[in-house]
Amino acid sequence: MKMNDIKTLYHILSAEFGPLYDWWVAGSPFERIAGAILVQQTRWENVDRVLTELKNRDLMSPGSIAALPLEELEDIVRPTGFYRNKAKSLKAVAEYFTASPIDSMSNKPQHVLRKELLALRGIGNETADVILLYVAGKPSFVIDAYTKKLCGCMGIQGNYAELQRLFEDALPRDVPVYQHYHALIVEHGKRYCGRKGCDSCAVARLRKYRGTPAFELAKP
DNA sequence: CATGAAACTGACA
DNA sequence: TGTCAGCTTCATG
């Protein structure tokens, strides 16, 4: 039942928000990696400015960031918040990809690459999966705050690994589907998971679609 | 003007 | 496992 809900929800969101190609087609691979770090707990609009600034200064490459003094990097990434942490994280990531080129990710088994990414400062489960899915093209489903909330609203509890397994089991093991679904969940969350949107959100519509209140409504 | 939320992670009890 | 600090920007009231 939960598995069917996961699939049905994908179709509901897909119909509402469309393909959302911009989510992963925009920017170079390293730009997407930098974006994955900088977007942590921050709005994308702020990240975009910093990415533009990095490009304007011709710093959008692992080598350039690795060679940049930490304090300069802090100044550049400041608009994305948590700037001391993020500057250190971005440097660690830049150093890693200087030694181990971005293209080499496709040669590594998914679980090996995931472990290497998780070992880097500033990369936790979600960011590792974002890089795996949107840069390395590995089928690793991303569980973010909106996904957890969405699951909560469907009466589904679980930690990161459990929710990830649920989505991956419910869906075909397909990179574009995972990419699209995560993008859809975020767009949906931004649109409905605020003060007002709860009663018209996709879970409410899913319930209607199924015609039965088979799961409890979580508190907004 | 004050408050809170935003594509989270790491450290420590 | 759970809690907390880390920081800036922008929308709301």
Condensed to tens digits (0 to 9), the pLDDT of residues A87-135 reads 999 999 999 999 999 999 999 999 999 999 999 999 999 999 999 999 9
Confidence at residue A61, expressed as pLDDT on a 0 to 100 scale: 98
My answer on whether A151 and A110 are in the same domain is no
Nucleotide nearest the Cα atom of A159 (by C1'): C1
My answer on whether A43 and A68 are in the same domain is yes
Examine the pLDDT at A216 and tell me if it is beyond 50.
Answer: no
Confidence at residue A195, expressed as pLDDT on a 0 to 100 scale: 67
Q: Take residue A110 and report the two structure tokens written for it.
A: 């998914």
Examine the pLDDT at A218 and tell me if it is beyond 70.
Answer: no
Condensed to tens digits (0 to 9), the pLDDT of residues A60-79 reads 999 999 999 999 999 999 99
In a domain, A217, yes or no: no
My answer on whether A120 and A156 are in the same domain is no
Condensed to tens digits (0 to 9), the pLDDT of residues A134-181 reads 999 999 999 999 999 999 988 898 999 999 999 999 999 999 999 999
In a domain, A215, yes or no: no
Residue A29's pLDDT band (cuts 50, 70, 90): very high
Distance of A212 CA from B8 C1′ (whole Å): 35
Determine if strand C comes within 7 Å of the CB of A195: yes
Residue A3's pLDDT band (cuts 50, 70, 90): confident
My answer on whether A94 and A174 are in the same domain is no
As a whole number of angstroms, the distance between CA A8 and CA A67 comes to 48
Domain count, chain A: 2
Distance of A127 CA from B8 C1′ (whole Å): 8
What is the mean pLDDT of the segment spanning A1-17?
A: 88
Distance of A23 CA from C13 C1′ (whole Å): 33
Q: What is the ipTM of this complex?
A: 0.93
Q: Is the torsion defined by CA of A39, A42, A45, A49 positive or negative? A: negative
Q: Residue A207, Cβ neighbours under 10 Å: how many?
A: 18
In a domain, A216, yes or no: no
As a whole number of angstroms, the distance between CA A220 and CA A218 comes to 6
In a domain, A11, yes or no: yes
A29 or A214, greater pLDDT: A29
My answer on whether A205 and A127 are in the same domain is no
End-to-end CA separation in angstroms for chain A = 23
In a domain, A128, yes or no: yes
Distance of A119 CA from C1 C1′ (whole Å): 21
Distance of A16 CA from B11 C1′ (whole Å): 41
Instruction: Protein contacts on strand C: list nucleotides below 7 Å from a Cβ.
Output: 6-10, 13
My answer on whether A184 and A105 are in the same domain is no
Q: Take residue A114 and report the two structure tokens written for it.
A: 């995931």
As a whole number of angstroms, the distance between CA A220 and CA A216 comes to 12
Angle at alpha carbon of residue A5, lines to A13 and A17, rounded to 5°: 0
Closest alpha carbon to A187 in A216, A217, A146: A146
3-class state of residue A5 by DSSP = helix
My answer on whether A105 and A32 are in the same domain is yes
My answer on whether A148 and A117 are in the same domain is no
Closest alpha carbon to A41 in A133, A122, A156, A162: A122
User: Domain range for residue A201?
Assistant: 2-20+142-210
My answer on whether A110 and A166 are in the same domain is no
In a domain, A62, yes or no: yes
